[in-house]
A and B are shown apart, each in its own frame.
Chain A
Amino acid sequence: MSLSEKYEAVIGLEVHAQLLTESKMFCGCRNAYGAPPNTQMCPVCTGQPGTLPVINQFAVELGVRAALAIKAEIHHESVFSRKNYFYPDLPKGYQISQYERPFCTRGKILISLGDGSEKEIGITRIHFEEDAGKNLHKGDHTQVDLNRAGVPLIEIVSEPDMRTAEEAGQYLRTLRTLLRYANVTDGDMEKGNFRCDANISVRPRGQKEFGTKVELKNINSFRFVEKAVEYEIDRQIRAIEGGETIVQQTRGWNSAKNVSEVMREKEDAHDYRYFPEPDLAPLQISDKWIGEIKNELPELPDQKKSRFESSYGLSGYDAGVLTASRDLANYFEGVVDVCKDAKTSANWVMNELLGRLNAVGKDIVETPVSAMELANLISKVQSGAISGKIGKTVFEEMFETGKTAESIIEAQGLKQISDPSALEPVVRKVMEANPGQVAGYKAGKVKLLGFFVGQVMKETKGQANPGLVNDIVKKLLDS
């Protein structure tokens, strides 16, 4: 029995997502990434004496959107609490969060796995909190930038429902897609506005109780979610097999070395002394308000997928691929809007565009071919201005150079020849060069028609309109 058959991992994820608001959670400072240090701060978010927090309404609305996206319960009354600890990036000495009474509990999302199966992952809760600033370590000293202090966050805590690194990765991607669809967050792990900690334990298969869990931090890229989780599972299994006892601790993923390293042991665990934030009355979210937010909620992936199937007549598979991200779905709809042929558009987007993007490792938002340009290209093929085959060559060129279809066709003279008076001499030339085949055709070998068409296409470097060539060949041979 292999080790992975002998043991089972239990994984739960805690995700922090920054909310796409204009201002911070409790004050009017701008919530934007990348400003010069300590330029987005005010008395409130720097914890000046006498300041008080006031809840950002839109942050609450984005939280409710997230709750709706994961089909969770939204509580009419929730309570903000203070989490007390000392750290240089935390100017008040406490973080305003939600503890005993979060605004949202009991959600779920469905993830798709590589073997074609699906699995439901439970979400324990979502709560609001404020982000901390940033400590920048400079060798002999540390300096603190408070631009991020007070940026609104939601923390999404999953149930310990995942069993493999793949499930963890898929959960994280699916959650991100949902939240990006709902315009809740940018979901950019590299920029730190979407962060993930994993609680990982292993136990012998068949055992009911959970093993001792380890918290894994610093998983700050989608590129190594699976790798980090896999490593930690593997490390724990080996440790157990080696006779060690797993101790409760916090480890950090070192992406340079591809290992997890101890950050702190349980003995250092904080005593956060949570208590209800006395500066804020309980947050009230009425059914009426939830209704309004629901009405303005952008279309979510599963809704979009069924719409693509019903109104565009796409297969379930195609609709699934095209709604994998909101940007891709928007792109596809942009193409259809112009060229009006959904099935053809789907083929072009999926086969040509996604094929090329995947090959160069780019996302749809980085595509060098805009939806409008792709639609123009498709229209040219549809109208017969160029052939389908040339269309694909033109697309390659567009992708490489970013030029428009029009200019490439123009510059390279790729326009389809649909003028009979231009094609007739070519046909005659081919007939003269192949008297044997002409004789054969006239003797009844009608299949030779294809030979002549092929020769004409070759002669015109594929630019001839094949339908028209067919007609002319037939006419001249039969005369």
Chain B
Amino acid sequence: MQLKEFTIERVIAGYRKQEFSPSELATSYLDAIEEQNGRLGAFLQVDRDLVLAQAAALDSRRQEVNKLPLFGVPIAIKDNFLVKNWQATAGSKILKGYVSPYTATCVEKLESAGAIIIGKTNLDEFAMGSSTENSAYFPAKNPWDTSRVTGGSSGGSASAVAAALAVGSLGSDTGGSIRQPARLCGIVGLKPTYGRVSRYGIIAFASSLDQVGPFGRTVQDVASLLEVISGYDRNDATSSRAIVPHYSDHLKGATLKNVRVGIARDWLEGVDGEVRKSFDEAVKLMIKDGAKIVDISLPHSRYALSTYYIIAPCEASSNLARYDGIHSGFRAEGVTDLDSVYFKSRGQGFGAEVKLRIMLGTYALSAGYYDAFYGKANEVRKLIQQDFLTAYEDCDCIVMPTSPSTAFKFGEKAADPIKMYTSDICTLPVSLAGLPALSVPCGLDSQGLPIGLQFIGKHFEESHLLKVAHKYELERGEFPLPAGVDY
């Protein structure tokens, strides 16, 4: 059995042909993870017993392979998701040893569809970061070049799929945390429309921006995962009641003919030469297939970084107040009064980037500053969103690079927060507008590192977005695996 060949379709076909049982497949994945995780740091927790128990239960339900869309498919879950009986650390010391008392809605949906939860993946602490260097445990490494970052914050989930240690995975995207690591690791990653997937059971970073989404090797796999995890959840008042289409079925017969593809030219100015070249080639391919290119303008998106770095820290400063050394998780040792429970537990429990963002948000919400920061940023956010809605009067989807440069080396951007934050410059506006977007690999640079193309759709029109991306993917042809993945 060759793990590197597995897509969801291929796994299901294997079960139908009785090539392997769920337990056999799960064991192969567990063995591969055990062998590779030291090199890649993709997983924070892999519990053999919990995995094999799920697989064994499926062994006795083999006939259900025709009913359950993800029967026996090993899926990795970012460690800021709660899965009952698994730890959920969010990559933070402050939640070390925290055992989930319940399961996130989207993971419940995966389980009901027959998926095997294979492990919990590494991330930047509380999903705050663009490199997975901020994990309190160890950094995740890029399977294409382990001296480079995976991107973040869902670096572990991206690395796991790129290295064939899971067929698919889930991540969360607040400002680019799915798309950017998908791009750096050479796989497909989708951030759905805000409200498409329930956030219940996802450890909150910035509530008005957080969204769950899938990683896969192909657009087809991402579509299959999306249709399982999407839908209204009575436990999430911000989840949408919009009908969930059969995204994967809709891909059949996709065409780019007469699809109006929007490009914001001024956005391409700061982009690396190689990234730009790869982007232009991808656009040519789409034109060849019948797409019509439309010039669009997103004038307020240049303020996305500032807007995001006010809104997200404000919400985070409040969301992370619950880690107080009293109700759950870590309490500093030797604390004998209430103030030291708070100050020491939080001071020692949170890492540097998390503390920076908590303080940013605390400052921006404090008396006298609210209107100038949070109030102003929310106004700009509306304008950013309005630009997109205006652009969509003339086009059906928008393409732009997923990030301006390829995977950087460890520590390269760690010193200057703004420099690190600019790696998300192309994904932030989309998050602020609540739009769906996915990153599809579109080439390799001269160092053999993946480059990604970001497709952005209209609210709740993932179906159309996936069709366009799927068709592009077909035109592009097979995308290679990282060199070391040969198992």
Contact = CB atoms under 8 A, between A and B. Distances in A.
Interface stretch (B28-36, B216-224, B317-325): B317-325
Contact of A50 (B104, B206, B342, B366): B104
A331 B452 CA distance: 77
B328 A48 contact: yes
Contacts of A142: 338
A52 B324 contact: no
Given A92-B321, A93-B321, A279-B238, A86 B200 contact: no
A49 interface: yes
A289 interface: no
Interface residues of B, number: 42
Interface stretch (A1-9, A200-208, A270-278, A460-468): A270-278
A53 interface: yes
A55 B328 contact: no
Contacts of B326: 88, 91, 144
A54 interface: yes
B101 interface: yes
A48 B199 contact: no
B237 interface: yes
Contacts of A279: 204, 207, 237-238
Given A46-B327, A273-B362, A86 B321 contact: yes
Interface string B33-74: 000000000000000000000000000000000000000000
A110 interface: no
Contacts of B204: 49-50, 279
A47 B238 contact: no
Interface in A240-291: 271, 273-275, 278-281
B297 interface: no
B137 interface: no
Contact of B365 (A48, A86, A273): A273
Interface residues of A, number: 29
Interface in A320-348: none
B314 to A, nearest CB: 6
Q: Which of A48, A49, A273 has the largest count of B CB atoms less than 10 A from its CB?
A: A49
A279 B327 CA distance: 21
Given A82-B318, A93-B324, A273-B366, A49 B82 contact: yes
A280 B338 CA distance: 31
A112 interface: no
Nearest to A133: B327
B214 interface: no
Nearest to A44: B235
A437 interface: no
B98 A47 contact: no
A467 to B, nearest CB: 72
Interface string A76-101: 00000010101010011110000000
B233 to A, nearest CB: 9
A50 B320 CA distance: 11
A51 interface: yes
Contact of B318 (A49, A55, A93): A93
Nearest to B328: A48
Contact of A278 (B315, B321, B362): B315
A142 B337 CA distance: 10
B318 A50 contact: no
Interface string B176-203: 0000000000000000000000011111
Contact of B237 (A49, A55, A91): A55
B374 interface: yes
A43 interface: yes
Q: Which of B234, B362, B365 has the largest count of A CB atoms less than 10 A from its CB?
A: B365
A14 to B, nearest CB: 20
A271 B366 contact: yes
B90 A49 contact: yes
A86 B236 CA distance: 25
Contacts of B201: 50-51
B243 interface: no
Given A86-B342, A275-B374, A49 B88 contact: yes
Given A49-B203, A93-B322, A275 B365 contact: yes
B102 interface: yes
B110 interface: no
A95 B162 CA distance: 42
Contacts of B327: 46-47, 91
Interface in B358-375: 362, 365-367, 370, 374
B76 interface: no
A40 to B, nearest CB: 15
B237 A53 contact: yes
B95 interface: yes
Nearest to A26: B237
Nearest to A144: B326
Given A273-B318, A278-B315, A279-B207, A49 B235 contact: no
A132 to B, nearest CB: 12
A224 B374 CA distance: 44
B208 interface: yes
Q: Which of B81, B204, B235, B327 has the largest count of A CB atoms less than 10 A from its CB?
A: B327
B229 to A, nearest CB: 15
Nearest to B102: A43
Nearest to B204: A50
Contacts of A94: 318, 321
A88 B237 contact: no
A86 B326 CA distance: 11
A449 B318 CA distance: 91
B130 to A, nearest CB: 22
B102 A48 contact: yes
Given A275-B314, A275-B365, A49 B208 contact: no
Interface string B388-417: 000000000000000000000000000000
Contact of B234 (A48, A54, A93): A54
A82 B102 CA distance: 24
B235 A54 contact: yes
A52 B104 CA distance: 11
Contacts of A280: 237-238
Contacts of A43: 101-102
A145 B201 CA distance: 24
Contacts of B206: 278
A407 to B, nearest CB: 56
Interface in B95-123: 95, 98, 101-102, 104
Given A47-B322, A49-B95, 19 more contacts: A47-B328, A49-B90, A49-B98, A49-B204, A49-B328, A50-B81, A51-B201, A51-B235, A54-B236, A88-B338, A91-B322, A92-B322, A93-B320, A273-B370, A275-B318, A275-B365, A275-B374, A278-B208, A279-B237
12 contacts: A49-B98, A50-B200, A52-B237, A84-B365, A273-B317, A273-B366, A275-B365, A278-B208, A278-B238, A278-B315, A279-B207, A280-B237
Interface of B: 81-82, 88, 90, 95, 98, 101-102, 104, 199-204, 206-208, 234-238, 314-315, 317-318, 320-322, 324, 326-328, 338, 342, 362, 365-367, 370, 374
User: What 8 pairs across the A-B complex have the smallest Cβ distances?
Assistant: A93-B321, A278-B207, A273-B365, A278-B208, A49-B203, A50-B201, A47-B322, A91-B327
